[in-house]
Amino acid sequence: MRKKIIFLSVLLGASLMYAEAEKHEIKVEEKFAHKLHWSYEGETSPEHWAELDKRFFLCKEGSNQSPINLNGFIEADLPPIEFNYHLSATEIINNGHTEKVNVKKGSSITLDGTVFHLKQFHFHTPSENHINGKEYPLEAHFVHLSDNGTLAVVAVMFEEGDENEGLEELWKVMPTKEGGHHKVDARHLNALLPKNKDYYRFNGSLTTPPCSEGVRWLMMKNSVTLSKAEIKAFEKVVHLHNNRPIQPTNARLILK
């Protein structure tokens, strides 16, 4: 029992640490990145994250890690996510791991009676999560934080097809070197979201160190498109891929 209490205390501490960083507009992974290098390849790749720093222990020991392969769905009466988005980007940043887009305050979702404020969104190629075993060329994560420090991520899959107006605006000013950043005046960011907001839901974690758990994952059932050129442009910046491998689902329920 004492070990369980200690473990839960450490887990809570990791989650609160992330929340506090977000309140100051600094993501934990960026804070650590200046002191400790992690990557998607070689000796600092995902299979070694937990060895790089004791604060990353959940990357190996966690039981609800993300990403996952979404399958074996459980039918549930999921209430609609209340989107209150007024998407307006302020800056796009190459943080060495992805292209992160900061947004103006004011956009949020409401879920479980709680308001989650949109802090930023970023991208992974190929997709981190899979749906029924299918991998997508790009996945966007819209990261939200509630006033009590809990996290919710709205995930969107992209399929190759027509050019995406939202991505085209962002990619035009996408910094290609780590640490690069540019102001953004994007007017078509709603193109990054499907019109139909039906979703799958599961509990998971951050997909980057420190891999904190307790994250509400909301995966849009419907994808949006991007062109082959837009895929290649992002792959070039992140050196072909920036996705964490699929993690065990364990006993988690995936609701639809």
Active site residues: 97
Measured N-to-C along each axis, helices 165-172 and 228-237 cross at an angle, to the nearest 10 degrees, of 40
228's tokens: 């082959």
Contact 204, 227 (CB under 8 A): no
How far apart, in Å, do the first and last CA atoms of the chain sit?
A: 35
Within 13 Å of residue 113, how many CA atoms lie on the same side as its CB? Answer: 0
Residue whose entry in the numeric block shows the structure tokens 């604060």: 55
2's tokens: 């004492």
253's tokens: 């329920």
The span from the CA of 126 to the CA of 158, in Å, is 10
